Amino acid sequence: MKSLITGGAGFIGSHLCEELIAREEEVFVLDNLSTGTLDNIKHLKNNKKFHLIIDSVLNDPVLEELISKVDRIFHLAAAVGVKLIMEKPVDTIETNVLGTEKVLSLANKYRKKVLIASTSEVYGKHKDHTLNEMNNMVLGPTKKRRWAYACTKALDEFLAFAYYEEKKLPVIVVRFFNTIGPRQTGQYGMVVPKFIKSALLGNPITVFGDGKQSRSFTYVRDAVRAVILLMERPEAEGDVFNIGDGREITILELAKKIKSLTNSSSEIIFVPFIEAYGKGFEDMERRAPDISKIRKAIGYEPSINLEQCLQIIIQHMKNV
């Protein structure tokens, strides 16, 4: 089996590469290294089943050549992270929408199965319940650039399902919920690596807002195994699945837990969102998935709890 992973030098993509190669599959990675890094995949570069192409998913000839020779496509390439979205909204919109359109168009030309990576952001501002795949989107106004990312990924989903329904292209969509693990960077606003780095350095752990907003966190190896299993299920085609962990924690509780696990003397401080991200930012008060659908489809269950996952990440960050 030959797989193309767009964005394969990124956090989730690099773990997906590892898992597929461990299964003796051949992997082609297309990444422009805008948010991914060579460090994420350096341990794979000498493997004969691993191929890296440093280029953009927007480069039609390169993308077409790769899609023509693989069996399936994991489309993970995207502009990610709250900080990047707030700083570069044009790049976010163009990369996410145009990149996905090109992948789907060429996949349809060569009749290759595609998995599209989406996000829990598409649900928007729900706060009264866990989120299942058929919930409505509750997004903020278009003047709030915070919602640009959610809108682009929702459009990606609409486009994927249009190709499935009109062109009969085998497509699967997954919505990742706060995936965490080794090699994730806090550079683009990801909260867990930011908190751990601050704690290990003895710097203040900065909580945005009042810290009462809650999230659930997913171990990256659980996420990539779920993605692979879904791609192996023909009955999953034309459908969308949450990939996450239903257990929630507030951001303030997360900061306290990380401080305790690292035995850190760091102070926990609070910074208003407007100071952190500027005008046009809104946060979601709650975001946790209903995973009953993916549980039924592939028997998915989180393999470790949050504390175990944090301990793995802390040890990794100590060693790098």
- Ranges of beta strands (E only) in the chain are 2-6, 26-31, 50-54, 72-75, 113-119, 171-176, 179-180, 205-208, 214-215, 218-219, 239-243, 249-250, 268-271, 286-287
Rounded to whole angstroms, the Cα distance separating 192 from 211 reads: 14
Strands 50-54, 72-75: pairing is unpaired
- 190: its two tokens: 């990801």
Strands 26-31, 2-6: pairing is parallel
CA 167 from centre of chain: 27
Residue among 123, 149, 164, 277 flagged as catalytic: 149
Give the CA angle between residues 217, 91, 285 to the nearest 5°: 35
Q: Is 149 a catalytic residue?
A: yes
Q: Mutual orientation of helices 220-231 and 11-22 as an angle, nearest 10°?
A: 60
In terms of residues, how long is the chain? 320
**Phi, psi dihedral angles at 302 (to 5 degrees):** -60, 135
Residue carrying structure tokens 């192409």:
53
Strands 249-250, 214-215: pairing is antiparallel
Which positions are annotated as active-site residues?
Answer: 149
